[in-house]
Homo-oligomer: A and B are copies of this chain.
């Protein structure tokens, strides 16, 4: 069962613009209708609030355990994406946050879902 309480945060180390991206290519949950497993990746990109504003960053190992807690959960693509966005936003209250899930697909259709919190900062470059 997805457990937001597994997530931990630490104080952000800087006040200057700063963007962090974590890509987990080993995500799996279960289709609530068919019971078959779904496989995909989850990308988190965010800009923490500055250190003086009390900004925090998610701790990497706790993030991994949090993702693993979806393993046997029957849940839709859209719900996974929104729940992760909400749990991480609640944890860090960042200036900006984007969750992108990429799913290997069912019935010949591959899917991607994007969910955001806040406005994309100008400094975010790809």
Which of B18, B22, B39, B72 is the one whose CB lies under 8 Å from A82?
Answer: B18
Against B, the Cβ 8 Å flags (1 = close, 0 = not) of A99-119 are 000001011111111111101
C-alpha spacing A106/B25, complex, angstroms: 12
C-alpha spacing A57/B61, complex, angstroms: 30
Give the oligomeric copy count.
Answer: 10
**A81-126: which residues lie under 8 A (CB-CB) from chain B?**
81-82, 85, 98, 104, 106-117, 119-120, 122-125
Q: Is A23 an interface residue (CB 8 A)?
A: yes
Tally of contact residues, A, Cβ under 8 A: 52
Q: Is A19 an interface residue (CB 8 A)?
A: yes
Question: In angstroms, how far is the closest chain B Cβ from the Cβ of A106?
Answer: 7
